[in-house]
Amino acid sequence: MRSGNRLHGVEWSHNVAKSASGSWGGRYLSTCQNLDYQLSGIQINSILRANEQVVLIPEFDGRGLSAVRKFESNQLAANKPNEDRRSAASCLQTKGMLFGVFDGHGGCACAQAVSERLLYYIAVAIMPQRILEELERCMEQGRPVPPILQWYKHHGDVNFRESAALYVDHLRVFWQELLDSEDHGDGMSQRDALDYAFRRLDTDISLEAQVPLYTDLMKTTAIQVAFSGSTACVAHVGVDGIHVANAGDCRAVLGVQEQDSSWSALPLSRDQNSENPAELERVRAQHPSSERDTVIQDDRLLGVLMPLRAFGDVRFKWSQELQQSVLDSLESRVDLESLNLYRYTPPNFLTPPYLDVAPDVTYHKLRPQDRFLILGSDGLWDELGNEKAVQLVGEHMSGFRLQAPLSPSERQLSLGEMQELLRKRKERAAPALDSNAATHLIRHALGTGDYGDLCQERLGSMLALPEDLARMYRDDITATVVYLNSDLAKHHN
Ligand code: MG
């Protein structure tokens, strides 16, 4: 991301610009030096660790082997409220795990709804006909529906409680349609399910904003969800490999440990923004040549939006007439001003839709050297390159292993090998600051000084910025680190 806010034209974004390298650079330092805010180490840690999550996954849970050993996640807000969301759940059908990172803009409503709903759409699309029939029978007979996902929630995660019944109704309509289709049979492949679920959920978001709903609260939520937007990057991690579906500029990067123990990064997604030439061409090709110079302006869609694919954002998808009629129909029931919708029409809005959510889906077969997967919102990748992030997590991982008690195999080391181990331990004697690798990433993302060192003062200034200033100097950051079960890959290979 190249400037403060993803939506252009909001109060401050026009006068804050990042350098081409993506960092806030000297502007940040000079401004921070003038700020008199400083935090103690304890205060810094308590802010950085407030949203930490760590979940250990049993290697074998009685049903099957897990490709994931553990995951660690964290979020740090710049917006208030945070517009990033994250999701993690086991898919009970595939026995794999689903991880999502969602970066909202124009409010958090769309990211919130997508983080609650998308994994269900994916799991349902994968389910074979006979399981869907069972779900439908349970609904008809008023029996409890068998679980579809096992969620791993952070205590700070929230839900749109007032819309829960609506979301279940529409998920049910989705599986009923799958049941009615001739060829659902054994369920969709993971690739097709990811692709279809993204598009299907976005269609539901669009329709829910157009149809009458039971309560005004439900309706205003549906409008807020549809008029705000969210990018999404979702990974399904199974014993057979990793599928990543990406729409927008969140990113999935694999941490690979080479034979010489060094670390390298393998991106499993490509950012869909104006820095991606193929993406620019894709967007331009969808509109008449007369719009070639206006579809993307200032590196933004119609000069407004940074990501080139997203959920919601009906301002870029619906005709102006439809937008107006939906808002008009609402005007008598609710105070539209209170919804904080971005209602203006983008310039050169001639041949909508300009935006869709169809994701790119990639597949990577797990190899023994694949050690972890990092999912991050652009707030993370703005500050850290892929290689740097992988190196940080890799070293963090090795550092912890070196500090752990001797394993049974290490107890049998020769004297020379033991000396080498002790030497490495000594090198790493400085205690790691964070046990959670996602926190380790966020700490370095915000606290790395000009010489690549971790600078406590810089971190303190960054975290002490008052609410109205924080968003000018950093974005919301979400990081999830998924540790892979490499032994499994060895076995498979
Ligand atoms: Mg962001």
**Which domains, from first to last, does the chain contain?**
23-492 (3.60.40.10)
**Ligand 1 centroid to 103 CA: how many Å?**
5
pLDDT-derived band at 290 (thresholds 50, 70, 90) equals very high
For 354, how many CA atoms within 13 A lie in the half-sphere containing its CB? 28
Best CA proximity match to 178, nearest among 198, 163, 195, 200: 200
**Ligand 1 centroid to 160 CA: how many Å?**
21
**Ligand 1 centroid to 379 CA: how many Å?**
5
Give the whole-angstrom CA distance, residue 315 versus residue 34: 40
pLDDT-derived band at 1 (thresholds 50, 70, 90) equals very low
Per-residue confidence (pLDDT) for residue 398, from 0 to 100: 83
pLDDT tens string 419-469 = 877 776 665 555 557 999 999 999 999 998 777 788 888 999 999 988 788
**Ligand 1 centroid to 334 CA: how many Å?**
30
Average pLDDT over residues 197-218: 94
pLDDT-derived band at 401 (thresholds 50, 70, 90) equals low
> Residues 229, 104: contact at Cβ < 8 Å?
yes
> Residues 67, 97: contact at Cβ < 8 Å?
yes
pLDDT tens string 342-366 = 777 899 999 999 999 999 999 999 9
Per-residue confidence (pLDDT) for residue 65, from 0 to 100: 86
> Residues 236, 91: contact at Cβ < 8 Å?
yes
Per-residue confidence (pLDDT) for residue 5, from 0 to 100: 61
Work out the percent of the chain whose per-residue pLDDT is above 90: 70
**Ligand 1 centroid to 297 CA: how many Å?**
20
Per-residue confidence (pLDDT) for residue 342, from 0 to 100: 75
Answer whether residue 30 shows pLDDT above 50: no
Beta bridge mates, 159: none
How much is the mean pLDDT over the chain?
A: 88
Answer whether residue 32 shows pLDDT above 50: no
pLDDT-derived band at 250 (thresholds 50, 70, 90) equals very high
Count Cβ atoms below 10 Å from residue 227 Cβ, excluding itself.
Answer: 25
Per-residue confidence (pLDDT) for residue 59, from 0 to 100: 80
pLDDT tens string 120-158 = 999 999 999 999 999 999 999 999 999 999 999 999 888
**Ligand 1 centroid to 476 CA: how many Å?**
6
Average pLDDT over residues 311-333: 92
pTM: 0.88
Give the residue, 30 or 166, on which the prediction is more confident: 166
State the virtual CA torsion across 227, 310, 382, 458 in degrees, nearest 10: 30
> Residues 456, 44: contact at Cβ < 8 Å?
yes
pLDDT-derived band at 373 (thresholds 50, 70, 90) equals very high
Answer whether residue 374 shows pLDDT above 90: yes
pLDDT-derived band at 23 (thresholds 50, 70, 90) equals very low
Residue 452 exposed, middle or buried by CB count within 10 Å (0-12, 13-18, 19+): exposed
Per-residue confidence (pLDDT) for residue 2, from 0 to 100: 36
Give the whole-angstrom CA distance, residue 272 versus residue 378: 11
State the virtual CA torsion across 62, 68, 71, 77 in degrees, nearest 10: -120
Q: Of 7-11, 33-37, 326-330, which gets the smallest average pLDDT?
A: 7-11
Per-residue confidence (pLDDT) for residue 425, from 0 to 100: 66
**Ligand 1 centroid to 84 CA: how many Å?**
7
**Ligand 1 centroid to 360 CA: how many Å?**
19
**Ligand 1 centroid to 475 CA: how many Å?**
5
Give the whole-angstrom CA distance, residue 79 versus residue 402: 38
Answer whether residue 17 shows pLDDT above 50: no
Answer whether residue 22 shows pLDDT above 80: no
Count Cβ atoms below 10 Å from residue 308 Cβ, excluding itself.
Answer: 26
**Ligand 1 centroid to 102 CA: how many Å?**
9
Please give, one letter per residue, the 3-state secondary structure of the chain. Answer: CCECCCECCCCCHHHCECCCCCCCHHHHHHHHHHCCCCCCHHHHHHHHCCCCEEEECCCECCCCECCEEEEEEEEECCCCCCCEEEEEEEECCCCCEEEEEEEEECCCHHHHHHHHHHHHHHHHHHCCHHHHHHHHHHHHHCCCCCCCEEECCCCCCCCCHHHHHHHHHHHHHHHHHHHHCCCCCCCCCHHHHHHHHHHHHHHHHHHHCCCCCCCHHHHHHHHHHHHCEEEEEEEEEECCEEEEEEECCCEEEEEEECCCCCEEEEECCCCCCCCCHHHHHHHHHCCCHHHCCCCEECCEECCCECCCCCEECHHHCCCHHHHHHHHHHHHCCCCHHHHCCCCCCCCCCCCCCCCCCCCEEEEECCCCCEEEEEEECHHHHCCCCHHHHHHHHHHHHHHHHHHCCCCCCHHHCCHHHHHHHHHHHHHCCCCCCCCCHHHHHHHHHHHECCCCCECHHHHHHHHHCCHHHHHHHCCCEEEEEEEECHHHHHHHC
Answer whether residue 307 shows pLDDT above 70: yes
**Ligand 1 centroid to 419 CA: how many Å?**
46
Q: Is the peptide bond before 307 cis (omega within 30 degrees of 0)?
A: no
**Ligand 1 centroid to 249 CA: how many Å?**
8
pLDDT tens string 69-122 = 999 999 999 998 999 999 999 999 999 999 999 999 999 999 999 999 999 999
**Ligand 1 centroid to 432 CA: how many Å?**
27
